[in-house]
Structure 1
Amino acid sequence: MQKITSLPADDALPGWYHTSKPRTPRPAHVGQTQTRWAIVGAGLTGLAAARQMALNFPDDEIVLIEAQEVGFSPAGRNAGFAIDVPHDIGAKDYIGDITTAKRVLKLNTLGQDYLRDIVKTHGIECQMSDSGKYQAAVSGAGIAVLEAYRSGLEKIGRETQMIDERDLPDHIGISYYKKALFIPGTVLVQPSALVKGLADSLPSNVTLYENTPITSIDYGDKVTLMHDNGTITADKLILANNAFASDFGFLKRTLLPTFLYGSLTRPLNEEEQARLGGKPVWGVIPAHPFGSTIRRTVDHRILVRNSFSFNPNGRPREHLLKRYIENHRRSFERRFPMLSGVNLEYSWSGAICLSENHEGFFGQLAPNVYGALCCNGLGITRGTATGKLLADMIAGERNELIDFLLASPGPNKTPPEPFLSIGVNSVFKWGQFRAGLEV
């Protein structure tokens, strides 16, 4: 018997969730259920795995279990960038090995295409926009990153456009940045609206239970998942719950539950939109990994996302959110002096799963247990692609991308506590300090 000691419990004001179309959550599970397939985690990975499992096994019921409400948990709290291009921060040109980079590009593109098809087929309203992304820099060091990345992207045949300071206002309305590398191919979405739509369009042989946190699990000839109001017994289990997989007994001391913090303004009125100028929809990724991500959304809001913390139990910390809202306000004011009267309407934290060596896990964890875990910040595309491919692998398919994922060494082991928390949070603090005006 494996007892789950840490349960998801996110903070209350995720802006994407509250500004997307409301939906009625599926009922929580009650009683005893037996099924062939169970999936834990209804984020992007779990939703993709459930959909593809249902297609691969049309005569079987697929049970999908979510601890909170779909769209409220981490999948609905990211910045909404569905990124196609690779970005190896350990390589001088941010691309590294060309063969690996091309496979990563193919993997990310698979995730994009899978989502595009579902969104179009089911008419999901999630503000999906083929807007590309701007990788922007304030400092000389940041500009050097852009030049190196442009060189790396050219090696894999990706077109880019370097935009100088004088031309940037025509693109994003603001003159804060000194230079930006425009990279076509990124898709922008409203992440909570996306996952809500994915959940509500699942095939009929998927049964989704929301607000059903698993409290213990028994691994045997079958897998029995227990919660406060019943049990679910499955022949096979798929884990798509990222860092919480450690609580289920797997990948211990390898997964780093990392929290980023975001704020969303109220909608800009027509006069404020005119004052800002630039394109109506755009997204900026910082040249420095600890800088600020900025977006202008379809519904005329501004997103500011920055600041990191390592929370080893996978749960948010209210005092950190209060502290980092001030970072958001300063970052917003530096970039948007023409919008001084615009307030931050929503602020929240959201977890991503990182590993020390930037590798995820894909494949079989134990007899009757499979997992697609740890997307290292690329949850929309990578999570979607690995969820689909894991379902295909379980159904007996093998292809280039499945073999590529299976060949990964997986996440590295990390030091024990308290050294891990001290070390990771020190790296985050130093990184944010070094980012300077990129924040």
Structure 2
Amino acid sequence: MTRHVVKRLPVDTGISGWEAISQRRFPATVLDRDITADWLIIGGGFAGLSAARRLLQHRPEDKIVVLDARELAKGPAGRNSGFMIDVPHNLSSGEYSVADEASTKAEIVQNRLAISFAAGVAAEFGLPSETFDPSGKVNAAASDRGLALNDNYRRSLEKIGEDHRVLDADEMRRMTGTTYYRGGLYTPGAVMIQPADYIRGLARGLHERVSIFEHSPVLELSREGRHWKARSNRGSVSAPKVILGVNGHIESFGHFRGRLMHIFTYASMTSAFSQNEFGTDVTGVDRWALLPADPMGATVRKVTVNGRSRIVIRTRFTYDPGLRVSDRRVAGIAAEQRRSFDARFPQMESLPLEFSWAGALCLSRNHVPAFGEVEEGLYSACCENGLGTVKSTLAGMMAADLAAGVGSPQLDQYRNQPEPSRLPPEPFAWLGVNSVIRFQELRAGREG
């Protein structure tokens, strides 16, 4: 008998603004009995819920169960910046696109497959434009280095025939209301989502056909005969096949240990404001979405719902193999974000940052997923490499295809990747990764 005892559970620090302003429209259910199913999915984020929908498409009569340790959207899936990006977005280097042309094209095809799947979710379950907005995104530059990075990125997109448009300082000011940015690079294929609303909307659409249990952490996963059995606090689920959509937490289940980098990033969201509170041009148009030209800079988004706007700013990365960070660190980084926000919008220094939070992401050194059948009947859809909305959606889709025996050229390509490479032993990994991160953040300068 194979037995995995889960000795640590995910810890989320701070209150995600996305989750706080999201409206939940169906009740949470806790697993409180022993049940059997055809499929068990552990993790109710982008990977897990995408796998559930994909399995419904393949096996509509099968019984599917999803277990999540928290309430949906309160974990990492509801804590990201909400960019579903089609073009390359490699956080492991100092520039977004570093692969050869063939690899870059292949990655774009995969990303667009996931975005198309998400667009199907939005259409099927009636998600509004505030939740799923195919508006594109802008890489914003605030310095000479940022402009140079954008120009490099432009050339790489040009080589492979990808649509893009260069924005000058005046266009950036009209969009955002601030003179902080000197230029931008617009790409039209990205979709902007309200991540907590998307996850809850997807779950709401699934929950009449999929049994979703929240606040039901898996404490032990064991194989008994031909079935896996997942034990939680008050019940258990037995199923012949299990998909793990738990990102870096998969190490807690005994797989890919010493191969995954557990990174935390940090964000703050302002309180709501109306345009006339600070003048009509202070923050530009109703919605915009900026990635930094330097990957280690500040991601900034403006969202508007019912005439009330908020701005979200995300900065800083830390490597934390213990999978938890302190409230004190979140508060300290929020103070840094206050300074970044005020530099961009000095007229709004009286506007409070209402919510601040940390969110976990997972990287591998060689920028590959932790994917595949890791034990008989146990499948991994983990390690999103810093682009959780798209990469986790894709991983969930591909894991469902693999487990259901549904072949495709896309699956063949996706599974034909090496496994994540090993990290140096601790404390060398901690020292090395955090040193590289801090150097890159300091080099980002005005982009942060």
Q: TM-score range by the shorter chain?
A: over 0.9
Q: 5+ unaligned residues in a row in structure 1: which ranges?
A: none
> Is the Cα–Cα contact under 8 Å of residues 93 and 152 in structure 1 kept in the other structure?
no
Any stretches of 5+ residues in structure 2 without a counterpart? none
Q: 1:205 to 1:129 in 2, by over 3 A?
A: closer
Match for 1:120: what amino acid?
A
Contact kept in structure 1, 2:269 and 2:354, CA below 8 Å: yes
Distance 1:163 1:345 in 2: 31
Q: Which whole-Å CA distance do the structure 1 matches of 2:172 and 2:260 have between them?
A: 38
Name the aligned partner's letter for residue 369 of structure 2: G
The aligned amino acid for 1:308 is F
Measured after TM superposition, the shift of residue 255 of structure 1 is: 1.4
Q: Is the 8 A contact 2:241 2:378 kept in 1?
A: yes
TM-superposed deviation, 1:308: 1.2
Q: Tell me, yes or no, if the aligned pair for 2:228 and 2:240 is still in contact at 8 Å.
A: yes
SS at match of 2:34: strand
2:334 counterpart residue number: 325
Task: Name the structure 1 match of 2:243.
Answer: 238
DSSP-derived class of the 2:9 partner: coil
1:280 is aligned to 286
| 1:398 matches 2:401 | no
Indicate the residue corresponding to 1:358 in structure 2.
367
C-alpha RMSD over aligned residues: 1.8
Query: 2:200 corresponds to which residue?
Result: 196
2:428 aligns to what? 419
- Identical aligned residues as a percent: 34
Distance (whole Å) between structure 2 residues aligned to residue 381 and residue 212 of structure 1:
25
Distance 1:119 1:246 in 2: 32
| Inter-partner Cα distance in structure 1 for 2:304 and 2:84 | 15
Q: C-alpha deviations, 1:14-40, integer Å up to 9, x for none?
A: 100010113444211112112221111
Whole-angstrom distance in 2 between the partners of 1:327 and 1:410: 37
CA distance in 2, matches of 1:20, 1:33: 31
Deviations along 1:329-363, one digit per CA (max 9) or x if unpaired, are 01100001122221111111111111112111222
Aligned residue number for residue 253 of structure 1 = 258
Give 2:77's aligned residue: 75
Q: 1:348 aligns with which of 350, 354, 357?
A: 357
1:19 aligns with 2:21: yes
Could you list the runs of 4 or more consecutive aligned residues of structure 1 that deviate by over 6 angstroms after TM superposition? none
Alignment TM-score, normalising by the size of structure 2: 0.94
Does the 8 Å CA contact 2:13/2:357 hold for their aligned counterparts? yes
TM-score (norm 1): 0.96
State whether structure 2 residue 123 is matched by structure 1 residue 124.
no
CA drift of 1:253 comes to 0.7
> How much has 1:396 moved relative to structure 2?
2.1
Within-5 A mapping of 1:152-301: 152-202=156-206, 204-221=208-225, 222-271=227-276, 272=278, 274-299=280-305, 300-301=309-310
Deviations 1:124-154 (A, max 9, x none): 2453222211111222222111111001111
* Number of positions where the alignment pairs a residue of Structure 1 with one of Structure 2: 439
Measure how far apart 1:49 and its partner are.
0.1
SS at 1:112 equivalent: helix
Residue type at the aligned position of 1:111: A
User: Partner amino acid for 1:301?
Assistant: R
Partners of 2:142 and 2:446 within 8 A in 1: yes
CA distance in 1 between partners of 2:96 and 2:33 (Å): 55
Distance 2:37 2:95 in 1: 49
2:113 alignment counterpart: 110
Q: Does 1:438 align with 2:442?
A: no
| Partner residue in 2 for 1:41 | 43
Q: Deviations over 1:278-312 (max 9, x none)?
A: 32111110111210000011331101000111221
Counterparts in 2 of 1:87 and 1:93: CA distance versus 1, 3 Å: closer
Change (3 A) 1:323 1:92: closer
Shift of the 319–91 alpha-carbon distance from structure 1 to 2, 3 Å rule, reads: closer
Partner residue in 2 for 1:51: 53
Deviating more after overlay: 143-152 vs 225-234? 225-234
**Range that drifts further, 66-75 or 357-366:** 357-366
Partners of 1:25 and 1:69 within 8 A in 2:
no
Look up the SS of the partner of 2:206 in the other structure.
Answer: coil
